[in-house]
A and B are shown apart, each in its own frame.
Chain A
């Protein structure tokens, strides 16, 4: 009788250990899957942002591919910040699209001084606690309709928990 109980007990322990290993493996796999999904969402977001009316260049009512208007960059960051404070709809609209993230645009050619408001713009800064994606960098064309100068830049997106 004691022998049988002992065997059952050992089997139960083996099953329990098996469950622990399996759930740990599953958890790691789910975490990895989540990260892949988030990275994909950020790429999707970057793609959407480059065609966003808030940012896109337009000359003669034609829109250029992955081109950001510098005059829009100059006003958008502050506009989003103020909208978030004053207008419920605007806050919800931008949060729905951008969530907890930090989005910046840096001109890298010809100018590369990284001066805020000149060749470096923070479009949205609503950080969470922990970054959950890698920084996604998207090369973008920049165009200033006032000076008609073209430049090359990088848009960086980082998503948080």
Chain B
């Protein structure tokens, strides 16, 4: 090996040249590495943004269609947030979230799977209010317990292409943990006690197991009632919250979301939309009254109970958005039913124009 003395000044210069080449090379290499890293992270962000846009398009199309169902391949984790604002985004793209403040999407707070199942049903009260979108996937197992009319109605209204089972209450205790992302037990209030008997599920898996108990007046999903949301914990199922519903569409929303926060947020949106539409129908009733033939006028605004009275009832009960009580929903249900009956009478027994 040559000593520094023997290399002289020329030797130093040659050594420094190599040093410069090394530093220069490292800088160039660093530049390209940072370029690739940036590109990779931008690509990820772009993919997430594209997925969010794709999902947005899918949902917008669903909003314009009626009573449809589709299964699409969507291999991304979707996160839903529904409180004072409503938004959804694909994991990793929170900044690119899409808002749905004025639309109703019933879904769990997270959806992670390959096949996304989208179902649209129209909510009527008694006129068409808005479409409901239900989002779920095959990695959530819905287990309907019991054979009552209510359970059968809800079971058959669930979307196709999802993981769904109908079991008898006595087999609930030994129901196996099939290791799905989530397992949701759906029960009629009469079978609520069977929830205590579940033993095959690990108590630490509380995040994966929920139960939805439906208490419907008259034992039918087409009436009104309460939906109770339960979470599985170390001491068995624990009640999170009970909230009211009207009709099969809302009950289905409670089951598919199996999340009281998302259900409540969407329920408030439904009531606000119903209140808004009722005001429009009230205005249209006034127009009918001033333009309809004289023999029809009393149906719209009359000395007896007319369309306007029922619409005012619906408007008043739908306005109390902060009071989501069963009593309020009972009144709302009867006002809706009465308007529906009156509209049917106008349509079938008279020559007068119906209100919707």
Contacts and interface: CB of A to CB of B under 8 A. Distances in A.
B284 A71 contact: yes
Main secondary structure of the interface of B (DSSP, over half): helix
B114 to A, nearest CB: 27
Nearest to B286: A75
Contact of B276 (A48, A93, A96, A146): A93
Contacts of A74: 287
Interface in A73-112: 74-76, 78-79, 83, 87, 89-90, 92-93, 96-97
Nearest to A54: B280
Interface string A39-64: 00000100110010110101111010
A38 interface: no
Contacts of A48: 60, 63-64
B343 to A, nearest CB: 8
Contacts of A90: 276, 279
A78 B283 CA distance: 10
Nearest to A69: B284
B291 interface: yes
B347 interface: yes
A137 interface: no
Contact of B102 (A47, A83, A93): A93
B53 to A, nearest CB: 9
Given A63-B128, A96-B101, A72 B276 contact: no
Nearest to A87: B276
Contacts of A44: 60-61, 64
Interface residues of A, number: 30
B273 interface: yes
Nearest to A44: B60
Main secondary structure of the interface of A (DSSP, over half): helix
A86 to B, nearest CB: 10
A89 B128 contact: no
B176 interface: no
Contacts of A60: 347, 354
Nearest to B126: A61
A51 B102 contact: no
Given A44-B60, A71-B284, A75-B284, A145 B353 contact: yes
Given A60-B347, A145-B353, A146-B353, A54 B287 contact: no
B127 interface: yes
B287 A71 contact: yes
A38 to B, nearest CB: 14
A74 B290 CA distance: 13
Contact of A51 (B66, B272, B277, B284): B66
Contacts of A97: 102
Interface in A131-151: 145-146, 148
A127 B263 CA distance: 36
Interface string B344-356: 0001000001101
Interface string B284-304: 100110011000000000000
16 contacts: A47-B64, A48-B64, A51-B66, A53-B128, A60-B354, A71-B288, A72-B284, A75-B284, A76-B280, A79-B279, A83-B276, A87-B276, A89-B272, A89-B276, A96-B101, A145-B353
Given A51-B66, A71-B284, A74-B287, 17 more contacts: A44-B61, A44-B64, A47-B64, A54-B280, A58-B127, A60-B354, A72-B284, A75-B280, A79-B279, A83-B279, A87-B276, A89-B272, A92-B101, A92-B102, A93-B102, A96-B102, A148-B353
